[in-house]
């Protein structure tokens, strides 16, 4: 009975997994990847850690309270003039506690430190937003990699079937004496090459499916693909400089580097202000107890201490550490400035590259749509010419190869076009689930 129940459970799990895989589209896969991908999970943990920075900033101005206590055994012996009878031995227990509270009144560097912590908390949000964009791009890339690998294998197999028919026909024609052995050799050579291509395509599909599973936790079976026809339009606005300006204002990578520069500049201020005096309000309450020989009568003495006041600290010399830290922070500020400039340049380049990818991709798709129609017409004409004897078997094999090569090029152009659309949105800091939904709506259900 238990074995039957176990089998039923395994079957149910397999059915559930299979139904998810068969119905999975890009948006569903992304939702699964958010729960499965370790890199994204690490980004979530980093966000939670960063959110604590704002609480730490608030704590800098709040009072600190601590309780201390001690207990010890004391022993003392006094000799008077070397006379043993005059010697005394006082020993006993001493213990006590102290409650101390400190409230900062003036600390110039605390304001700077608080602003640093708040900026770090903001940057944690920026970093997580970038991690979301990165996951969208990685999932989309893996998804379309699988679809393209499937298409490539499908086209290779279709071409193999067509060449196999030509090979069989060439052999038959040679046997009945209406064709030369050359046709058979040409068809055989093409067939052997396609077998090798099929093996490579199968391996490539397995690699892409494994990468997809590792990223999303979803088997790459039955993914929703693109329909036969797909509209492709150039970017709007059509001026690449408008996109570059938008990227300069909204790019997450530039925003992160601006924040890093602000933190580095605040670090300089903090070490400059370390030379400033600090003023704290403090309060103390404590009790000390002496027992045994430490008291006059051998009983227990109790001492209460209560204090309230202000404490001024003026740094005079710190061994050169503050000056060294200041020089270090100046160098790190310079580093942050250079990184910001590098981020601006990289973002501009990535924006232009994605823009041109969408722009050229739209034109390429239209051209390849027409090229596919032309390749189909050429193939049909070559088949007819082969039947009436005005075209050779090699002509037909070449026409078939051109037709399937065009189909592969068109499939790749469509996937690259969609990916470049997402990359363009990411470059200007706009990429989100809405963009994924727009791409997902193009998929055939």
Whether the predicted pLDDT of 375 surpasses 70: yes
The residue that leads in pLDDT, 171 or 198, is 198
Q: pLDDT tens across 78-92, in order? A: 665 555 555 555 677
Angle formed by the axes of helices 38-59 and 108-175, to 10°?
Answer: 170
- Nearest CA-CA partner of 258 in 267, 248, 272, 270: 248
Specify if 182 maps to a domain: yes
- Cα dihedral 177, 178, 182, 188, rounded to 10, equals -90
Q: Where does the pLDDT of residue 374 fall: very low under 50, low under 70, confident under 90, or very high at 90 and above?
A: very high
Specify if 16 maps to a domain: no
d(CA 309, CA 297): 35
The secondary structure element, H or E, covering residue 427 is helix 393-427
d(CA 63, CA 107): 13
Residues in CB range of 43: below 8 A, 6 or more apart: 127, 128, 131, 132
Q: 223: domain CATH number?
A: 1.20.1600.10
Specify if 203 maps to a domain: yes
Q: pLDDT tens across 265-324, in order? A: 999 999 998 888 999 999 999 998 877 655 656 667 788 999 999 999 998 888 888 899
Specify if 317 maps to a domain: no
Which range of residues forms the domain containing residue 410? Answer: 26-61+108-277+322-442
Specify if 43 maps to a domain: yes
Specify if 437 maps to a domain: yes
Specify if 31 maps to a domain: yes
Residues in CB range of 321: below 8 A, 6 or more apart: none
**Whether 262 contacts 117, CB under 8 Å:** no
- Cα dihedral 238, 242, 247, 248, rounded to 10, equals 160
Q: Where does the pLDDT of residue 6 fall: very low under 50, low under 70, confident under 90, or very high at 90 and above?
A: very low
Residues in CB range of 267: below 8 A, 6 or more apart: 116, 329, 332, 333
| Confidence (pLDDT) at 156 | 96
Number of structural domains the chain divides into:
1
Q: Please, what is the average pLDDT of the chain?
A: 89
Specify if 40 maps to a domain: yes
99-119 per-residue burial string, b: 16 or more CB within 10 A, e: under 16: eeeeeeeebebbbbbbbbbeb
| Confidence (pLDDT) at 12 | 40
pTM: 0.84
């Amino acid at each position: 009975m238990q074995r039957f129940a176990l089998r039923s459970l395994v079957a149910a799990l397999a059915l559930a997994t299979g139904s998810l895989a068969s119905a999975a589209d890009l948006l569903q896969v992304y939702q699964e990847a958010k729960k499965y991908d370790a890199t994204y999970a690490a980004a979530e943990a980093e966000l939670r850690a960063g959110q604590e920075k704002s609480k730490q900033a608030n704590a800098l101005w709040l009072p600190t309270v601590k309780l201390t206590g001690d207990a010890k055994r004391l022993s003392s012996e006094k000799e008077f003039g070397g006379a043993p009878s005059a010697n005394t031995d006082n020993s006993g227990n001493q213990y006590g506690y102290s409650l101390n509270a400190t409230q900062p009144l003036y600390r110039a560097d605390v304001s700077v430190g608080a602003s640093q912590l708040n900026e770090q908390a903001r940057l944690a949000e920026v970093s997580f937003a970038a991690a979301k964009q990165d996951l969208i791009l990685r999932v989309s890339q893996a998804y379309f990699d699988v679809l393209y690998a499937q298409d490539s294998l499908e086209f290779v197999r279709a071409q193999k079937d067509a060449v196999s028919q030509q090979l069989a026909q060439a052999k038959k024609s040679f046997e009945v004496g209406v064709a030369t052995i050359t046709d058979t050799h040409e068809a055989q050579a093409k067939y052997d090459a396609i077998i090798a291509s099929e093996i490579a395509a199968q391996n490539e599909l397995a690699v892409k499916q494994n990468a997809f599973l590792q990223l999303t936790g979803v088997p790459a079976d039955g993914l929703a693909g693109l329909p036969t026809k797909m509209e492709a339009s150039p970017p709007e606005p059509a001026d690449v400089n408008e996109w570059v300006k938008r990227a300069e204002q909204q790019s997450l990578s530039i925003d992160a580097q601006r924040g890093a520069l602000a933190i580095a500049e605040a670090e300089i201020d903090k070490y400059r202000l370390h030379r400033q005096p600090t003023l704290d309000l403090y309060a103390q309450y404590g009790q000390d107890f002496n027992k045994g020989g430490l008291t006059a009568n051998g009983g227990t003495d109790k001492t209460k201490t209560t204090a309230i006041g202000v404490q001024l600290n003026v740094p005079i010399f710190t061994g050169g550490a503050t000056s060294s830290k200041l020089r270090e922070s100046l160098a790190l500020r310079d580093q942050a400035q250079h990184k910001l400039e590098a981020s601006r340049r990289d973002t501009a380049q990535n924006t232009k590259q994605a823009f041109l990818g969408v722009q050229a991709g739209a034109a390429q798709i239209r051209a390849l749509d027409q090229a596919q129609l032309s390749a189909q017409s050429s193939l049909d004409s070559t088949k007819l010419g082969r039947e009436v004897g005005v075209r050779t078997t090699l002509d037909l094999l070449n026409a078939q190869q051109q037709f399937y090569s065009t189909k592969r090029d068109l499939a790749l152009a469509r996937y690259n076009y969609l990916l470049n659309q997402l990359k363009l949105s990411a470059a200007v800091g706009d990429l989100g689930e809405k963009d994924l939904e727009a791409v997902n709506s193009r998929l055939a259900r």
